[in-house]
């Protein structure tokens, strides 16, 4: 009797630990996200730069100058600036390639600091491996030069070929230069002198914006934040943070809120990808799926006459196998009212259908008015 009571006591304790573990505050906190991960601060952003340049030193894998006249013109212009006149000559080098150079200028980047650049072939070059990018100015949307790039290109892929076969891994016409650009011009933005800021949500939502504003006001103890629309939360700088906005943003971006998301089903018909949001609900509906499939397989056999027979000849005897699947083993599945995402997934899996059939089923459920969600087809 004592042993049974001891076992019962241990079972109750184990159940209590399990219950407290499931409903602990830490599990609830896992559903919260930092404001830093949900929104961007106005003005704190990258700026895109682009430039046109030449890559030299390629091992015969550059542009063919006859098919890429812009490469030939750029090469002639560069040589002329260096005192070499090649106008009217027949240039036939294949060690040069015209490329586009792109980069993102980080926010508050200072003059003289470096950043990475990406190199992409513009002509018919086969590979940029071993190439050297010559000095290339990088301009912004205002046509001003903000950085200058130069350096050896690092290629992630490779390509090898012979007379009978070829092997290619990755993309050999695109590469990267780590710290390959020097910033020559800074973008002025006085963050410390601003009287108000705006936080821009990366996933616009009215509920998330309101929760974010409430979390900020609760932390500051003053109604400094206001949700203007699903995308923007306006923040007035409190008096004690005047001139020290960096400290304010450092504290605010660590606040955690629970982001809300609309009920949405995203479908990519080309790749067969289906993404179903957590809030998707389905009204009561019955689903059946079945297709008529006819498979015809030809297996011809060769019939030869017996040895030493007279007048016999070799003939081909056709053999045809026909398999018909009319979907007679398909089942009718009933989904109850307001089923959850897990029940919807389990129900579709129970039908034994593939991604393409699931896409058709979801679209049919939406057409029937039973899918309480937005369907977005990519």
In CATH terms, the fold of domain 190-257 is Alpha-Beta Plaits (3.30.70)
Higher pLDDT, 218 or 242: 218
In Å, the largest CA–CA distance within the chain is 113
Across residues 98-105, what is the average pLDDT? Answer: 95
Instruction: Work out the percent of the chain whose per-residue pLDDT is above 90.
Output: 32
pLDDT at 263: 83
Q: What is the pTM of this model?
A: 0.66
Give the relative orientation of helices 245-252 and 206-220 as an angle to the nearest 10 degrees. 120
pLDDT at 146: 95
Average pLDDT of the chain to the nearest whole number: 79
For residue 265 the two structure tokens come to 């089903």
DSSP SS3 for 2: helix
Most confident residue range from 129-133, 290-294, 360-364: 129-133
Give the model confidence (pLDDT) of 146-163 as tens digits: 999 999 999 887 666 666
Give the model confidence (pLDDT) of 174-216 as tens digits: 999 999 999 999 887 777 778 888 999 999 999 999 999 999 9
CB 227 within 8 A of CB 209: yes
Report the Cα 78 to chain-centroid distance in Å: 38
pLDDT at 49: 96
Taking the C-alpha atoms of residue 46 and residue 228, their distance in angstroms, rounded to an integer, is: 24
Per-domain boundaries in the chain:
47-159+167-183, 190-257, 264-295+319-377
Taking the C-alpha atoms of residue 117 and residue 376, their distance in angstroms, rounded to an integer, is: 35
- 338 Cβ partners below 8 Å, 6+ apart? 281, 282, 283
Taking the C-alpha atoms of residue 153 and residue 98, their distance in angstroms, rounded to an integer, is: 13
What is the 8-class DSSP label of residue 35?
A: H
Most confident residue range from 89-93, 263-267, 326-330: 263-267
Buried b (16+ CB within 10 A) or exposed e, 52-84: ebbbebbeebbbebeebeebbebbbebeeeeee
Give the model confidence (pLDDT) of 28-54 as tens digits: 445 788 999 999 988 888 899 999 999
Comparing CA positions, the residue from 175, 212, 188 lying closest to residue 57 is: 175
Report the Cα 86 to chain-centroid distance in Å: 46
Give the model confidence (pLDDT) of 9-24 as tens digits: 444 444 433 344 434 4
pLDDT at 331: 55
Lowest mean pLDDT: which of 172-181, 210-219, 232-241, 335-344?
335-344
pLDDT at 14: 41
Other C-beta atoms closer than 10 Å to the C-beta of 303 total: 10
Higher pLDDT, 142 or 355: 142
Above 50 in pLDDT, residue 294? no
pLDDT at 216: 93
Above 70 in pLDDT, residue 123? yes
Above 80 in pLDDT, residue 338? no
Above 90 in pLDDT, residue 343? no
Above 80 in pLDDT, residue 323? no
For residue 121 the two structure tokens come to 């072939």
């Amino acid at each position: 009797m004592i042993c049974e009571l001891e076992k019962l006591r241990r079972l109750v304790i184990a159940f209590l630990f399990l219950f407290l573990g499931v409903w602990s505050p830490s599990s609830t906190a896992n559903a919260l996200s930092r404001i830093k991960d949900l929104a961007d601060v106005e003005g704190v952003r990258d700026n895109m730069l682009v430039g046109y340049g030449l890559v030299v030193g390629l091992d015969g894998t550059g542009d063919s100058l006859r098919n890429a006249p812009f490469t030939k013109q750029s090469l002639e212009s560069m040589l002329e600036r260096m005192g070499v006149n090649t106008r009217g000559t027949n240039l036939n080098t294949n060690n040069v390639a015209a490329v586009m150079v792109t980069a993102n200028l980080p926010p508050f980047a200072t003059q003289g600091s470096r950043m990475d650049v990406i190199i992409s072939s513009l002509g018919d070059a086969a590979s940029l491996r071993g190439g050297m990018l010559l000095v290339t100015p990088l301009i912004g949307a205002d046509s001003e030069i903000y950085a200058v790039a130069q350096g050896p290109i690092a290629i992630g892929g490779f390509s090898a070929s012979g007379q009978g076969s070829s092997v290619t891994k990755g993309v050999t016409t695109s590469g990267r230069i780590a710290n390959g650009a020097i910033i020559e011009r800074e973008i002025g933005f006085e963050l410390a002198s601003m009287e108000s800021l705006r936080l821009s949500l990366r996933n616009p939502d009215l509920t998330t914006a309101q929760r974010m504003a409430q979390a900020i006001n609760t932390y500051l103890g003053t109604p400094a934040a206001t949700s203007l629309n699903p995308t923007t939360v306006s923040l007035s700088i409190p008096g004690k943070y005047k001139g020290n906005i960096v400290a304010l943003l450092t504290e605010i971006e660590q606040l955690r809120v629970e982001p809300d998301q609309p009920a949405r089903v995203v479908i990519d018909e080309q790749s067969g990808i289906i993404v179903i949001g957590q809030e998707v609900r389905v009204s009561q509906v019955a689903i059946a799926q079945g297709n008529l499939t006819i498979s015809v397989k030809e297996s011809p056999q060769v019939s030869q006459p017996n040895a030493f027979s007279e007048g016999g000849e070799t003939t081909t005897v056709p053999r045809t196998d026909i398999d018909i699947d009319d979907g007679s083993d398909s089942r009718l599945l009933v989904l109850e009212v307001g089923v959850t995402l897990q029940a919807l997934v389990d129900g579709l899996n129970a039908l034994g259908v593939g991604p393409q059939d699931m896409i058709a089923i979801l679209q049919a459920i939406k057409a029937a008015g039973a899918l309480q969600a937005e369907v977005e087809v990519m």
